[in-house]
Amino acid sequence: MANLDNIINTAGLTKIYHRLLGFGSNLAVDDLNLAVPEGCTFGFLGPNGAGKTTTIKMLLGLINPTRGSGDVLGRELGNLEAKEQIGFLPEEPAFGRHLKAREFLNLCAGLSHIPRSQRRRRIDLALDVVGLSDRAGGRLGEFSKGMLQRVGIAQAMLHNPKLLILDEPLTGLDPAGRMEIKRIMLELTRRGKTIFFSSHILSDVEELCDNVGILNRGRLILSGPLEKLLDAGGVEIIVEDMPSALLEKIEPFVTGMVKQGRRWVLQLGDENAEKQVKKLLTEGGCHNIRDRRGTVKLEELFMQTIEQNDIAVGKGVENG
């Protein structure tokens, strides 16, 4: 099952929560087939309750799957050797309010089997990356949400893992905090880490990720390279000083035409139409021809995908 090019693979991963004494059940994750390539920044998207955190916890072996299997770093879910190479930031960073930042990181270093001789240096380095060197002696109970998030990232990267799994790292932060966390994430990407993170903030995902997966009602409904997914497939041709006699000839191939001063913006459905129109324009004596690939925003893609899936699920329910 393990595809060695992927750092995370799952096959039919399913989690059903059974209520007490068997009264009803809740399908949290349904037949999830996920593939996360090594070295990428993967955005794991989905509305509230879609099953993102449950999936993450299954990847870490914290929650036992009801069905299906998976591997992380080529080893089965929850494998301790794989966990040596995973850094995790939980959705709610609860780290023991009584501890000082350095004490907490020292505890994490011990649990990550970092040799004692290296601990101080690693902790200093992690605190430096997240910009908390001057607050190393502060108690976690006195830290703001943004600072706790940074401590969370520091503990996740302390043992220099290959894979970072961040559960909602940007949620609940003010703009400055978000900027800071994004800076850290970009820095980690630059260092060659694979980052798998869940988020609701689509503009940030668009900015940070090169691969995304959209989860709805526990099912992965879209996944792949972001660039490919955002490519709407349409093309626009911009031409100046087009003779009016050409309008009739090109009309069958275009899906829309807009005149902007001397310019015409022609909207085309596919590459065949693009070729035909370009040929007609060139033969018609037009020289200033430019094309522009059409893209959609991640937000539009997300909303469309979720809505389509909701409708499909609704129809499925109606049909029995």
Q: Which residues bind other proteins (CB under 8 A)?
A: 54, 57, 60, 62-64, 80-81, 83-84, 86, 88, 90, 92-96, 98, 107-108, 110-113, 155
- Supply the minimum distance, in Å, between the C-beta of residue 252 and other proteins: 58
Strands 163-167 and 86-89: parallel
- Supply the minimum distance, in Å, between the C-beta of residue 79 and other proteins: 9
The nearer residue to other proteins, 129 or 151, going by C-beta atoms, is 151
Given a contact cutoff of 8 angstroms between Cβ atoms, the answer to whether 199 and 182 are in contact is: no
Q: What element of type H or E holds 259?
A: strand 254-260
The nearer residue to other proteins, 107 or 257, going by C-beta atoms, is 107
Q: How many CA atoms lie within 13 A of 317 on its CB side?
A: 6
- Supply the minimum distance, in Å, between the C-beta of residue 115 and other proteins: 9
Look up residue 113 and give its amino acid: H
- Supply the minimum distance, in Å, between the C-beta of residue 55 and other proteins: 13
Strands 6-18 and 67-72: antiparallel
- Supply the minimum distance, in Å, between the C-beta of residue 192 and other proteins: 21
CA-closest candidate to residue 211, choices 78, 32, 99, 44: 44
How many angstroms separate the CA atoms of 99 and 93, rounded? 13
How many angstroms separate the CA atoms of 99 and 104, rounded? 6
CA-closest candidate to residue 32, choices 79, 73, 61, 65: 65
CA-closest candidate to residue 50, choices 164, 194, 198: 198
The nearer residue to other proteins, 18 or 121, going by C-beta atoms, is 18
- Supply the minimum distance, in Å, between the C-beta of residue 110 and other proteins: 4
CA-closest candidate to residue 198, choices 90, 87, 45, 56: 45
The nearer residue to other proteins, 63 or 209, going by C-beta atoms, is 63
Given a contact cutoff of 8 angstroms between Cβ atoms, the answer to whether 194 and 72 are in contact is: no
The nearer residue to other proteins, 88 or 264, going by C-beta atoms, is 88
- Supply the minimum distance, in Å, between the C-beta of residue 30 and other proteins: 17
Given a contact cutoff of 8 angstroms between Cβ atoms, the answer to whether 57 and 168 are in contact is: no
The nearer residue to other proteins, 58 or 268, going by C-beta atoms, is 58
Instruction: Give phi and psi for 132, each to the nearest 5.
Output: -120, 20
The nearer residue to other proteins, 96 or 233, going by C-beta atoms, is 96
